[in-house]
Amino acid sequence: MEHIELFFKSIFIDNMVFATFLGMCSYLAVSKKVSTAIGLGAAVIFVLAITVPLNWLLDQYILQEGALAWLGPEFASYDLSFLSFIMFIATIATMVQLVEIVVEKFSPSLYNSLGIFLPLIAVNCAILGGSLFMQSREIATLGLAFNYGVSSGIGWFLAILAIAAIREKIRYSNVPAPLRGLGITFIITGLMAIGFMSFGGMLTGGDEPAAVKDSAVKVESIEIEKEKEKIADKTAQVIQ
């Protein structure tokens, strides 16, 4: 159950592109054609599935406070979490290069379709973002970390596929000249993100109010209380 929940949550609710804007650079640059978008999307899923569990292990056994306890009791008080940026990015960069070499050696056909995108991916914010969110959301087990990597990769894939399809079609529409290309892509992505917000109640069945709604309700209730006070004051005056 936990796994299914995390899976759908990372694809739809916390979609990397629409909720947190990760990997926007390559999302905008490589989404002109559906075929290249599929290639990059697949490469992102692949790399996320490898790096997120790997960084989870790194975080759990080396970086976290007290994580070095397995070396001996005198290491138990070490907290290396300030090193996490540098360790994560080093892991990602090395893994990407390693994957590139391995894929080139063992599966030339896969290399031909993924290969050109792999170097691009080392600096894709979605990959580092995946690891950083994994750390800040305190994902509990290795299995869940793998699940998180794959599902957020799928979410990213979905987003780039959708925008590439829309961009292929929009070339035939009459967009105002200054908005052509980049501008309209931004606005469409914004609209898609609004659409994806409707997935917000998917797992709770709409029982829990969304965070923003909550604050609006609070403001209203404060207003109502103020009104009540005013009325009370007026009645007090009238009585006097």
Partner 1 sequence: MGLLSKKDSKLILDPLADNNPITIQVLGICSALAITAELKASIVMAISVIFVLGAGNVVVSLMRNIIPSKIRIIVQLIIVATLVIIVDLVLKAYAYELSKTLSVFVGLIITNCIIMGRFEAFALGNGPWKSFLDGIGNALGYGVILIIVGFFRELLGSGTLLGVPVLGDPIEKTGLYSIGYENNGFMLLSPMALIVVGLIIWVQRSRNKALIED
Give the interface with partner 1 as residue ranges (CB under 8 A). Answer: 18-25, 28-29, 82-86, 89-90, 93-94, 97, 119, 122-125, 127-129, 132-133, 136, 176-187, 189-191, 193-194, 197, 212, 216, 219, 222-223, 226
Considering the complex, state which of residue 182 and residue 238 has its C-beta at the smaller distance from partner 1.
Answer: 182
Q: How far is the CB of 73 from partner 1 (least distance, A)?
A: 28
Q: Give me the least distance between CB of 35 and partner 1, in Å please.
A: 21
Instruction: Pick between residue 7 and residue 156 the one whose CB is nearest to partner 1.
Output: 156
**Shortest distance in whole angstroms from residue 163 CB to partner 1:** 11
CA-wise closest residue to 40 among 23, 60, 22, 52: 23
What's the token pair of residue 88? 């994560």
Question: What single string gives the DSSP state of each residue in 125-192?
Answer: HHHHHHHHHHHHTT--SHHHHHHHHHHHHHHHHHHHHHHHHHHHHHTTS---GGGTTHHHHHHHHHHH
Instruction: Report DSSP state, residue 10.
Output: I
- Shorter beta-carbon distance to partner 1: residue 35 or 198: 198
Give the nearer residue to partner 1 in terms of CB position, either 57 or 216. 216
Residue number with CB closer to partner 1 (91 or 151): 91
With beta carbons less than 8 A apart as the criterion, state whether 186 and 29 touch: no
b/e burial code for range 78-102 (CB count within 10 A of at least 16 → b): beeeeebeebbbebbbebbeebbee
In the complex, what is the shortest distance from the CB of residue 196 to partner 1, in angstroms, rounded to a whole number? 8
Q: What are phi and psi of 106, to 5 degrees?
A: -100, -25
Task: Report yes or no: 84 and 135 within 8 Å, Cβ to Cβ.
Answer: yes
Dist CA 202 CA 220 (whole Å): 26
Closer residue to partner 1 in complex, CB, 61/186: 186
CB of 186 to partner 1, least distance (A): 3
Minimum Å distance from CB 12 to partner 1? Answer: 15
Closest CA to 213 of 201, 203, 229, 205: 201
Measured between its terminal Cα atoms, the distance across the chain in Å is: 64
Of 1 and 86, the one with the shorter C-beta distance to partner 1 is: 86
Give least dist CB 182 to partner 1, A: 6
